[in-house]
Structure 1
């Protein structure tokens, strides 16, 4: 599970069997689990220069969270 050097997201974990993306935020929030996320979205988050921007654009309102 990668840890990020980001002001917004501290780490993320992806389960390819369930397609659940778990995200921990730097403010101590999390994990938040996002359902039915494709692997390429997780990989994009890991590669993104700005984790916050990627999250806001490609995850936040695109996938159900719990």
Structure 2
């Protein structure tokens, strides 16, 4: 999945494809979050604080697995 680099103190890059949200963190771990609505991805990408948005709206709210 192609990810776009983002400006964040904790997140390095973000990708989205068919309900799968893929996030690479600054420590180089990559997680995939399943069944994420497109509007959540859009809001994350537009957020001024991507780390805060992630913590409040994605972390622990969607099933996830570590990819790397």
Question: Size of the alignment, in residue pairs?
Answer: 63
The equivalent residue for 1:10 is 12
Q: Secondary structure at the match of 2:4?
A: coil
Q: Map of 1:1-66 to 2, 5 A cutoff? A: 1-16=3-18, 19-30=19-30, 32-66=31-65
Residues 18-59 of structure 1, C-alpha deviation per residue, up to 9 Å, x if partnerless? x100000011111x0000000000011101111110000000
Deviation for aligned residue 1:5: 1.3
> After the TM superposition, which segments of 4 or more aligned residues of structure 1 sit over 6 Å from their partners?
none
Specify the SS of the correspondent of 2:41.
Answer: helix
Superposition TM-score, scaled by structure 1 size: 0.89
- Where is the strand percentage greater, Structure 1 or Structure 2? 2
The root-mean-square deviation of aligned C-alpha atoms, in Å, is 0.8
Ranges in structure 1 where 5+ consecutive residues have no aligned partner = none
Structure 2 unmatched ranges of 5 or more: none
CA distance in 2, matches of 1:45, 1:9: 11
Q: For 2:5, what is the secondary structure of its paired residue?
A: coil
